[in-house]
Amino acid sequence: MKKILIMFVSVLATCVSNAAPGAQNAEWESLNAKVLALYKQGNYDQATEAAKQALKLAEQTGGLYHPTVALSMNNLALLYKAQKRYAQAEQLYLFSLMLGEEARGKDHPTVATTANNLAALYDVQGRHEQAEPLYQRALAIKEKTLGSDHLSVALTLNNLAQCYYDQGHYAEAEPLYGRALAIRQKALGANHPSVAETLEGLALLYRQTSREEAAAALEERIASIRTKKTSAPQ
């Protein structure tokens, strides 16, 4: 669930910041802000209705191939995923991917976001073989367009590593966890929750490959990070 929340928040932030100017777009941004607020409250039904309104407005304002349409579909799909309405989410992701490619090109970061999120949808259903090439595609686009040290690259590295881990491909997963960890530590600091998330995946991998001492050391570090977060002033 942690991975799902991180992607939802980051995608909505990207959608708002990449939107085009105009009165209709201001309304679209407002609707997306409402979606995010309702999502954080756990009010998925109202968030879904707001996301549907945002999608309708995007279609009416810019036409089917306007970038905001693909982004709106992506947001609605994320909500369907959170509600385990996987078939509906998959249809929207696939259509969003097609529209994003048409509107912005096959190597645009928003296409990578949709590919990443479609892969995560397959992952949560245990469809790891379908998820893997989508993660790989998302990673290649992000590295090309955002740079190899971008936090969004770290997110997809972490997701792809988890996908390999779930399939028992530990040798493939380990260096990806290592890269994700290095990026997150550099950008966020050694005690950030996202660092703990990557350390957790790596610790599980060490346990599975009989490296008990190394796993224990990481688990101590994870506990320390989470203790610091809990004790920090709110």
| Spans of all domains in the chain | 1-104
Q: Residue 23 — pLDDT band, cuts 50, 70, 90? A: low
Structure tokens at 93: 């992701």
At 195 the pLDDT is 97
First to last CA, the chain: 23
At 67 the pLDDT is 80
| Contact assessment for residue 72 and residue 64, using Cβ atoms and an 8 Å cutoff | no
Q: Residue 157 — pLDDT band, cuts 50, 70, 90? A: very high
Domain 1-104 classification at class level = mainly alpha
223 CB contacts (<8 Å, ≥6 apart)? none
Predicted structure pTM score: 0.84
| Contact assessment for residue 153 and residue 113, using Cβ atoms and an 8 Å cutoff | no
Neighbour count for residue 7 (Cβ, 10 Å)? 21
Q: Residue 191 — pLDDT band, cuts 50, 70, 90? A: very high
Evaluate if residue 19 carries a pLDDT over 90: no
At 6 the pLDDT is 37
| Contact assessment for residue 82 and residue 65, using Cβ atoms and an 8 Å cutoff | no
| Contact assessment for residue 157 and residue 183, using Cβ atoms and an 8 Å cutoff | yes
Evaluate if residue 15 carries a pLDDT over 90: no
Burial 48-60, CB ≥16 within 10 A → b, else e: bebbebbbebbee
Least confident segment among 18-22, 28-32, 70-74, 165-169: 18-22
